[in-house]
Structure formats: C-alpha cells, structure tokens
Amino acid sequence: MLSQQDQWGELWTSAGAPYGSLHASKCKEQFSLAFTHAITAASRCKISDLRVDDERVDYTIRQVANHRRFSSSTVDVQMKCTEQDVLRDDGVHWSLDRSHYDALRDLRTYNRKILVVLLVPHRLDRWLETQEEGMLLRKTAYWVCLEGHEPIETASKTVVLPRVNVFNVEQLLGILQRVGDGGQP
C-alpha cells in the first residue's frame, strides 16, 4: 500500500487514512527495536531494552545455552537506523562521535558490545509489508565489534561494518557462541 502526501506534506495511505505524527528519528528507533526483537525471538534468545543510554548501549541480548566456557552469554548492542546511502562495496560506512567510538572500543566492560546499523528504504511506507503469507521488514542490518580498536584524537571516526556481517539469526547465534566460549563477538 503506497502512501501519498497532501499539499501540507502530511502522509496519507492510499485508502485515505493519515499516518501518525511521530518524528522520523523516533520511527527509526522503534523500527530498529522491532527488527532486533524479531531476530532475537527467532534465535530463541531474550532482549532487554535499556531505558537509559548512558553507556552507549540500547539493548542487551542474552542467550542461555551450554557453551565451552559459560552457560549463558550476553552482548550489548548500540543500534542505529538510517535511510542514508551509507552502503559501499566493503560495507556500511558509519560515522561515530568520539564518545560513542570510545565506549564501543573499550575492553574493560563486562559485557561484549557490538554496533548494529539498520538500513531502511527512504520511504517509510516501504519499511514494512504485510500479506497473508507473512510480514517483511525491509532492509538489512550490519554489525561490527570495535573492542580494542585504536583511540582517536578527532571529534569523530568513520567505521566500516563489513558486508559479510549481516545481523541475522545465524550471525547473532555465532556472536553469542563466541562470547559464551570466552571470546569476542
């Protein structure tokens, strides 16, 4: 179902119903949470939505399973969502301010951390498609672990989330297994 804009820029569905007024950044935040919940649930794991983002962490994903070292594993996720054209041949190029970069590269934290960037279509009405056969969330998320990366002196740093690091069920379970075995994501 395609949407249309009226003369004031408000979005309406093709059936004539208006969209809500939630700001685009909040829509991305909510959509990325739903995306992460879907992958986590399909992985038979749990997610905790942190109410305060003072550690540069949005969610914690936890798995109870027998790994080589631990009987459970957790990974903290800093989630970003964008419709910008940031995907290149080698991966997603994402700019982090120094405080986010430093928090994600810190080796002294108890939980392992990853950065996940979800790419969505430019048009909000294309993010989600529902049919009788199922629901399709568009597009794809990529992840990277920055633990142990070098410090920076600049105000920001562009990091690359490799194209092979697609944030999906298989890769999430691999991340949790490596953490449960005592390693990095």
What is the number of structural domains in the chain?
Answer: 1
Mean pLDDT of 19-35: 87
Residue 45 lies in a domain: yes
Mean pLDDT of 107-134: 91
Residue 15 lies in a domain: no
Q: Is 101 exposed, middle or buried (CB count within 10 Å of its CB: 0-12, 13-18, 19+)?
A: buried
Enclosing domain of residue 45: 24-181
pLDDT at 51: 64
CATH number at residue 92: 3.40.1350.10
Select the more confidently predicted residue: 60 or 10.
Answer: 60
The token duo for 49 is 């939505």
Residue 156 lies in a domain: yes
Phi, psi of 63 (to 5 degrees): -125, 130
Sign of CA dihedral 8, 9, 15, 20: negative
pLDDT digit string (tens) for 69-113? 989 999 999 999 999 999 999 999 999 999 999 999 998 888 999
Q: Are 127 and 181 in contact (CB under 8 A)?
A: no
What pTM was estimated for this model as a whole?
0.89
How many CA atoms lie less than 13 Å away from 9 in the CB half-sphere?
1
Residue 1 lies in a domain: no
Residue 172 lies in a domain: yes
pLDDT at 163: 97
Residue 17 lies in a domain: no
Residue 10 lies in a domain: no
